Amino acid sequence: MASPQTIRPHADGGLRRLLSGPAAEWIGLAARLGLAVVWGWAGLAKISDPAEAAQAVRAYEILPESLVKPVGYGLPFLELALALLLLIGLGTRLVAAVSALLLLTFIAGIASAWARGISIDCGCFGGGGTVDASKTEYFREILRDTGFLLLALWLVFRPRTKFSVDSWLAA
């Protein structure tokens, strides 16, 4: 007599096949390109005015003044490097892990400003700095960055994607 396990189909069987089969590489491509667009947009928005990017960092009131300029001026270059590496699919797992850490840092910074009652624009895509309390959008910014974090985590655990340098090097 067959055991009950061999008779009952797995409820997640279709989902498991989707997440581990060829479709996973297409999902990974979408995640990789989506994050590349986000990092590219953020980096390009900040790189044209590094002083404004530094002001956005300063507004969080977290870092000592000696680190505000290096972080504000350096962040756009990091974001653009992440965008380029994700776009071509080189070092996808590592780049996704760095992306996840950066996104966690952004989420923590936004949550910290919100908890401390500081009214700022996050400066995520340019701008930034002090704003009127009615202009803050902390909840939406945290949700948005959490969505980006999920894309990064997908790539940490499933770095193999279509049309990536990584897959060509592995072949």
Nearby residues of 139 by Cβ (< 8 Å), 6 or more positions away:
none
- Enclosing H/E stretch for 127: none
Q: How many CB atoms lie within 10 A of CB 14?
A: 10
Is residue 11's pLDDT more than 90? no
The phi and psi torsions of 130 (rounded to 5 degrees) equal -70, 140
How far is Cα 97 from Cα 105, in angstroms, rounded to an integer?
A: 12
Question: Distance between the two ends of the chain, CA-based, in angstroms?
Answer: 45
Is residue 8's pLDDT more than 60? no
Query: In this predicted structure, what is the pLDDT of residue 34?
Result: 98
Across the range 59-81, mean pLDDT stands at: 97
Closest CA to 47 of 87, 85, 78, 83: 78
Query: In this predicted structure, what is the pLDDT of residue 170?
Result: 83
**Residues 26-46: pLDDT tens digits?**
999 999 999 999 999 999 999
